[in-house]
Structure 1
Amino acid sequence: MIEPWVYAALTATAVLTGFIDAIAGGGGLIMMPALLFAGVPPINALATNKLQSMFGTATACLNYARKGLVDWRANLPTVALVFAAASIGVIAVQTIDTRALALLIPLLLMGVALYVLLSPRMDDEDAHQRLSQRGYAPIGAAIGAYDGFFGPGTGSFFTATLVGLRGLGLTRATALTKLFNLTSNVASVLIFAIGGKMFWLLGLCMAAGAMLGGYIGSHTAMRFGARLIRPLLVTLSLGLTLRLLWSWFSA
């Protein structure tokens, strides 16, 4: 039985995580510990977090799309692969021990943070792409599978690879990240719902907060661009790295 104050507290927390997710990703760094602290069992916390995140990410994605930063048709093949891969990831996470993965991810996140911090072109200018949209699709699918399986840092991985491999400016990469993140969230919610893992009332209350945070965060990112996204992306990547390493070594 969840106490009434928990609904209010987690909804307020979702405003903050929705804001962070809309700009740099990594809101799960805050939301997942909050859910667990509130007494939600781990698998139900993961499922319910995906539900609220889906609504917040959808709000941010639509705001970016209204500004012409999301090309829906051109990215449909990647969207389809991300959806399929995320579905497989969600199914796998319910059967596989994630402890080894929890040690690998901090190392990857540290790499993302260093790339963002040291890259001379991590800005809003598009550059020469190393991979086409079709060539990037398998990479997007791999990140989608990871999101379904584990999740933390997914937005950072999408954004860094879209900048480094697709040659997108940071704001455009962030906008496209929301599309792919939304896709993996939808797949995760469907699989978790079918498995009966969702706390619907709590998740929908949190979704209202996430939508408000996503709306504010996406408008803030479009206004300030790379000079806001870059430092926040580094901060969230390093923060999540430390959080995951602490969890692994203290277990």
Structure 2
Amino acid sequence: MDIRLLFLCAAGFVGAFVDSIAGGGGLVTIPAYLLAGVPPHFTLGTNKFAATMGSFVSTAGYARSSKINFRLLRTAVPLTALGAALGVYSVLRVPQDFLYPLVSIAILAVGLYTYFKKDLGQVNGFTEITTKKILLVSLVGFALGFYDGFFGPGTGSFLIFIFIRAFKFDFTNASGNAKLINFTSNFTSLLMFAFNGKIDYLLGVPIALFMVLGSFMGTKLAIRNGAKFIKPIFLIMSFAVFGKLLYGMLF
């Protein structure tokens, strides 16, 4: 294994570990691909390939522990797939630069609100499934599926925050439900990038193995330790995504 691949595998492991807990794994992996000299569209495609493998393991882990409400998400999943497909179609044709200031402000607001709202996500207050909730989560799935396919940074953080704030889940259940939506957008984006020939499989396959391991370990720790473990990592990743986006805007 050469030094470049070893570096990317290590970044993949760390990215998948944090992503399985609180989102934001792309903050680690995408700069690593670019630093290793992978062209931008191949960076997005190869990252989606490897991340989807890790995301599947994480989603399966949350599902086995009953941390995903499949009835609530039954229409959100196909709409997420549609949104992600449209997002990838768009990103291969138009620039993303106009999103930097908007997403930077949004992710900073999420981080600050979560920090100052001390009891946020500590107790699972989700009750019945209503038509209104199904419609809302479907809209969220479509919108963030598009965003994930088109741009991506902070998708997991936005999803977790919305599941906590709008649906009253605790951090653990919010992470589980967010992971199913995120896996759907990852898998759909992967198919789109593969169709357009934007995946380097020689890099993607070994990196995916390390991301599967990182996802497995992160998911086990998150389920075992709950909100007190997830919240600080969520905050770190939210502010880190903000810092990365701000740096991208300035430099």
Unpaired runs of 5+ in structure 1? none
Q: Is the CA contact 2:73–2:137 (under 8 Å) kept in the aligned structure 1? A: no
Look up the SS of the partner of 1:123 in the other structure.
coil
Residue in structure 1 matched with residue 247 of structure 2 by the alignment:
246
Of 77, 80, 83, which aligns to 1:85?
83
Q: Is the CA contact 2:58–2:219 (under 8 Å) kept in the aligned structure 1? A: yes
1 CA distance for matches of 2:141 and 2:46?
23
Residue in structure 2 matched with residue 231 of structure 1 by the alignment:
232
Of 96, 116, 119, which aligns to 1:118?
116
The answer to whether the aligner puts 1:51 opposite 2:44 as a matched pair is no
**Percentage identity across aligned positions?**
34
Residue in structure 2 matched with residue 97 of structure 1 by the alignment:
95
Letter of the structure 2 residue corresponding to residue 112 of structure 1:
V
2 CA distance for matches of 1:84 and 1:44?
22
Deviation at 1:120, TM superposition (A): 4.2
Q: Which moved more, 1:14-23 or 1:64-73?
A: 64-73
Name the count of aligned residue pairs: 248
Residue in structure 2 matched with residue 71 of structure 1 by the alignment:
69
2 CA distance for matches of 1:165 and 1:188?
26
The answer to whether the aligner puts 1:5 opposite 2:24 as a matched pair is no
Letter of the structure 2 residue corresponding to residue 125 of structure 1:
V
Residue in structure 1 matched with residue 181 of structure 2 by the alignment:
180
Provide runs of 4+ in structure 1 moved above 3 Å: 128-131
Residue in structure 2 matched with residue 34 of structure 1 by the alignment:
32
Deviation at 1:58, TM superposition (A): 0.7
Residue in structure 2 matched with residue 138 of structure 1 by the alignment:
139
Residue in structure 1 matched with residue 170 of structure 2 by the alignment:
169
1 CA distance for matches of 2:248 and 2:72?
39
Q: 1:56 to 1:128 in 2, by over 3 A?
A: closer
Deviation at 1:141, TM superposition (A): 1.2
Q: Is the CA contact 2:84–2:185 (under 8 Å) kept in the aligned structure 1? A: yes
Letter of the structure 2 residue corresponding to residue 229 of structure 1:
I
Look up the SS of the partner of 1:40 in the other structure.
coil
The answer to whether the aligner puts 1:192 opposite 2:190 as a matched pair is no
TM-score (norm 1): 0.95
Of 54, 60, 63, which aligns to 1:62?
60
Q: Is the CA contact 1:122–1:226 (under 8 Å) kept in the aligned structure 2? A: no
Q: 1:128 to 1:59 in 2, by over 3 A?
A: closer
1 CA distance for matches of 2:172 and 2:220?
11
